[in-house]
Amino acid sequence: MNAEIIAIGSELLTPFRQDTNSLYLTKKLNELGVEVSFKSVVGDRRENLTCAIQTALSRVDIVILMGGLGPTEDDLTRECAAEVLRKPLHRDPQIIAALRARFASRGWKMSPNNEQQADVIEGAEVLPNARGSAPGQFLHINDQGGEAVVILLPGPPHELTAMFEEQCLFRLRRLTPSRHIATRELKIAMIGESMADHRAAPIYKKRTDVETTILAGTPGEIQLHLRAQADTLEAAQKKVDSLAEALEDEFDDAVFSSKGESMEQIVGYFLEMKGATLAVAESCTGGLLAERITSVPGSSRYFLGGAVVYDNSVKTALAEVPARLIQEHGAVSAPVATALAEGIRRKCNSTLGVGITGVAGPGGGTEQKPVGLVYVALTDGKKTEVADRKYPGDRNRIRQWATQQALDMVRRRLMK
């Protein structure tokens, strides 16, 4: 079976907004064995919306309409769907009562235009909206004109996802052939996309029973998405797992995550498992490393703190880097990266210390120390290692590469 997802709303045809619900719905539909063949975006104009629905019905089995279910004149999805399907709309007194109750519970009076939210296409099942006012609708049509499914969902993502999970999944499962789908996601650190594909392709291309997608995540992260279908979940799982195993053999410890976890989460797991703590001193990454680590809930259990040492005087004040060392070698140098790592470790009394210094650009580069040059140091108080790298891309990408390098060094040290 295949589907078309139509996002409705003139704001989605401006340069400022984009439909993102369709990514969520595609994931869920694929899990049911339904392929998405088309996605469309259409504004709140009657003839355009009618045309989009008509076109979709002519070319797919399942049509999902998102948005345009509110109480205003611009909300035309119910009317246009009914028109294309040549079915009447009936105003449902139960929905009106629920709407009135919803308004009353907030102490508001319901204006009459809200009643159009109670218009139900003949034959549709009403999908209650747990998080908003507009209910959805689910139509399974099976008559002389053929079989089709039309689903009307609200546009706001938190309303749409809740309604799809609770009201649509089980209904669709009844209609779709019972297939079981298993997925795996491997993440690989610090290898470029073309090199990763060059190494992975000979392995996954042999396995036509598993669909493999290779994607570049943030700089320093390559994702391999595996997906297989079978009659039982066990059989599908076996397919993806055996391919995942072959890929893990090829990439060895460059694979940092095999179930979708982020690098920050993995570093957190390792730190907690080893009972270790971390402190960081960063110059060119400007706080991004600390920000990534602390984006993980519970990171206060292993992350003690850090210093953002932009000015040279602050490298001395917060991370005890001797001013003389900076004068001798320059702020962007292996000795200063080392001193930052060792200094912040002492200051914060942590198990591990990281120091980063480099040229994020666009200005500040020289022939000897060009934009993209970064030194990353890691110490446990006994042994200090320093990586020097030259990263491609703009300021933002260079900063991301450098933090990924630092996190990967922490991960590799803790794995030992």
The structure tokens listed for 205 are 């291309």
Q: Of 156-164, 190-198, 307-315, 321-329, which segment contacts a second copy by CB under 8 A?
A: 307-315
Task: Assess 14 for contact with a second copy (CB under 8 A).
Answer: yes
Strands across the sheet containing 211-216: 211-216, 221-230, 180-189, 255-257
Q: Which is nearer to a second copy, 94 or 313 (by Cβ)?
A: 313
Q: Which is nearer to a second copy, 83 or 119 (by Cβ)?
A: 83
Q: Which is nearer to a second copy, 91 or 259 (by Cβ)?
A: 259
Reduced to 3 states (helix: H, G, I; strand: E, B; else coil), residue 410 is helix
The structure tokens listed for 335 are 């000795």
Site string for a second copy, 24-43 (x = CB under 8 A): x-xx--x----xxxxxxxxx
Task: Assess 93 for contact with a second copy (CB under 8 A).
Answer: no
Task: Assess 13 for contact with a second copy (CB under 8 A).
Answer: yes
The structure tokens listed for 48 are 């355009």
Among 1, 33, 45, 191, binds a second copy (CB under 8 A): 45
Contact 292, 317 (CB under 8 A): no
Q: Which is nearer to a second copy, 145 or 364 (by Cβ)?
A: 364
Task: Assess 396 for contact with a second copy (CB under 8 A).
Answer: yes
The structure tokens listed for 218 are 């943030």
Task: Assess 18 for contact with a second copy (CB under 8 A).
Answer: yes
The structure tokens listed for 45 are 């104009």
Give dist(CA 111, CA 229) in Å, integer: 50
Among 150, 153, 263, 318, binds a second copy (CB under 8 A): 318
Give dist(CA 220, CA 122) in Å, integer: 53
Q: Which is nearer to a second copy, 227 or 411 (by Cβ)?
A: 227
Nearest approach in angstroms of CB 387 to a second copy is 21
- Write out the binding residues for a second copy, residues 202-241 only, by CB under 8 A: 213, 215, 223, 225
Nearest approach in angstroms of CB 88 to a second copy is 27
Site string for a second copy, 262-301 (x = CB under 8 A): -----------------xx-----xxxxxx-xxx-xxxx-
CA distances from residue 92 to 97, 155, 353 in whole angstroms, order as listed: 9, 21, 65
Contact 293, 299 (CB under 8 A): yes
Among 1, 51, 162, 276, binds a second copy (CB under 8 A): 51
- Write out the binding residues for a second copy, residues 329-388 only, by CB under 8 A: 347-349, 361-364
Nearest approach in angstroms of CB 37 to a second copy is 6
CA distances from residue 60 to 9, 55, 138, 185, 231 in whole angstroms, order as listed: 22, 9, 16, 29, 24
Nearest approach in angstroms of CB 72 to a second copy is 13
Measured between its terminal Cα atoms, the distance across the chain in Å is: 48
Identify which of 183, 245, 192 has the alpha carbon closest to the alpha carbon of residue 217: 192
Q: Which is nearer to a second copy, 12 or 153 (by Cβ)?
A: 12
251 sits in which H/E element: helix 233-251
Give dist(CA 352, CA 340) in Å, integer: 12
Identify which of 285, 247, 244, 311 has the alpha carbon closest to the alpha carbon of residue 403: 285
Nearest approach in angstroms of CB 97 to a second copy is 26
- Write out the binding residues for a second copy, residues 134-193 only, by CB under 8 A: none
Query: What is the β-pairing status of strands 211-216 and 221-230?
Result: antiparallel
Task: Assess 50 for contact with a second copy (CB under 8 A).
Answer: no
Q: Of 16-24, 74-82, 119-127, 244-252, which segment contacts a second copy by CB under 8 A?
A: 16-24
Query: What is the β-pairing status of strands 255-257 and 352-358?
Result: unpaired
Q: Which is nearer to a second copy, 55 or 258 (by Cβ)?
A: 55
Nearest approach in angstroms of CB 122 to a second copy is 27
Task: Assess 95 for contact with a second copy (CB under 8 A).
Answer: no
Nearest approach in angstroms of CB 318 to a second copy is 6
Q: Which is nearer to a second copy, 95 or 304 (by Cβ)?
A: 304
Cβ contacts of 16-23, under 8 Å, gap ≥ 24 = 19/66, 20/157, 21/66, 21/153, 21/155, 21/157, 21/160, 21/161, 22/66
Among 306, 353, 355, 372, binds a second copy (CB under 8 A): 306
